[in-house]
Amino acid sequence: MNFSDTPRDPTVPRHVAVVMDGNGRWARKRYMPRVYGHKQGVDALVRAVNAFADRGVDYLTVFAFSSENWKRPSEEVSGLMGLVLVAVSKYLTKLAGDGVRVRIVGDRSKVSNKLREAWEYAERSTAHNTRINLSVAFNYGGRWDMVQACRHAMLDGVHPEALDEAALSRYMALSFAPDPDLFIRTGGEMRISNFLLWQSAYSEFVFTERLWPDFDETDIDAAIQAYRQRDRRYGGIPTEELVPQGI
Ligand code: IPE
Ligand code: IPE
Ligand code: MG
């Protein structure tokens, strides 16, 4: 599916990043194991991808497993790994049919071969899609991203004098995407937790109490509405004070 000929609404964020937090609490409230909350979280993600795409968002980047989440009990970690495999087999065909291009960003060196192969399959089989770009950050950390970018630039022999912000950006994990316009975190915590540290320099932040499995179209519309109210100055002066050119 190719929707790229449709003119895009400039008030809709082109790139949305989401910290999908609150799965564990959602499950605990129901006296269920935390992994059950993660399972519901996958379903919420599939719904959200389509809802964001319907609203004209081109890139959706979601935090699924952080470099620090290895600290969790081994039962939860292995449950999450297993869930990725289940999610790929349950939803990949649907996502592919819905025009979603899937990418996985993060350190792949520490995950099982089985998982790596599932990801490569997901990326290959959706590579032609253009409706929305879904990037799943898995074993991702903003600090890891900066370090891996520097390492790769050094391995490429980039001269220190040539290493400016644009040059380093080309080595970051999301080099194919513009920086996130809107950064949403569900679950009530007001922190970044080592997500897109470099890329979120000028993102607009929306924090919501909603737990991720409950995040729905109403929450998406509320977040986009909040984004529309913001005056993005990038270090400049308020838009209302700008003198129109030619006066
Ligand atoms: C976010 O939900 C998903 C992952 C970190 C994998 P949590 O598991 O952190 O849920 P809470 O914050 O404990 O409720
Ligand atoms: C951030 O949530 C990571 C993901 C949502 C994948 P955490 O639940 O791990 O963050 P903290 O520990 O509350 O900062
Ligand atoms: Mg959490």
212 alpha carbon – ligand 3 mean position (Å): 10
Q: What whole-number distance in Å separates Cα of residue 242 and Cα of residue 186?
A: 34
Tally Cβ neighbours within 10 Å of residue 113.
7
The full set of domain ranges for the chain reads 12-140+180-229
The catalytic site residues sit at 21, 69
Predicted confidence at residue 8, as pLDDT, reads: 82
170 alpha carbon – ligand 1 mean position (Å): 30
Strands, sheet with 15-19, edge to edge from the N-terminal-most edge strand:
100-105, 132-140, 59-66, 15-19, 182-185, 204-207
Out of 6-15, 57-66, 211-220, which region has the weakest mean confidence (pLDDT)? 6-15
* Closest-lying ligand 2 atom to the alpha carbon of residue 21: 5
Contact yes or no for 1/46 (Cβ under 8 A):
no
| Confidence (pTM) | 0.96
pLDDT band of residue 201 (cuts 50, 70, 90) is: very high
184 alpha carbon – ligand 3 mean position (Å): 14
Q: Which CATH superfamily is domain 12-140+180-229 in?
A: Decaprenyl diphosphate synthase-like (3.40.1180.10)
- Residue range 76-99: average pLDDT? 97
Mean pLDDT of the chain: 96
Kindly state if the Cβ of 80 falls inside 6 Å of ligand 2. no
Instruction: Give the whole-number percent of the chain exceeding pLDDT 90.
Output: 93
Q: Residue with structure tokens 């913001």? A: 230
Out of 2-11, 144-153, 219-228, which region has the weakest mean confidence (pLDDT)? 2-11
Contact yes or no for 111/85 (Cβ under 8 A):
no
Kindly state if the Cβ of 213 falls inside 6 Å of ligand 1. no
Residue with CA nearest ligand 1 atom 3:
21
Predicted confidence at residue 244, as pLDDT, reads: 78
* Closest-lying ligand 2 atom to the alpha carbon of residue 191: 14
**Residues facing 137 on adjacent strands:** 63, 105
Asked if residue 202 has pLDDT above 60, the reply is yes
Predicted confidence at residue 7, as pLDDT, reads: 75
Kindly state if the Cβ of 64 falls inside 6 Å of ligand 2. yes
Least distant ligand from the CA of 212: 1
Predicted confidence at residue 1, as pLDDT, reads: 44
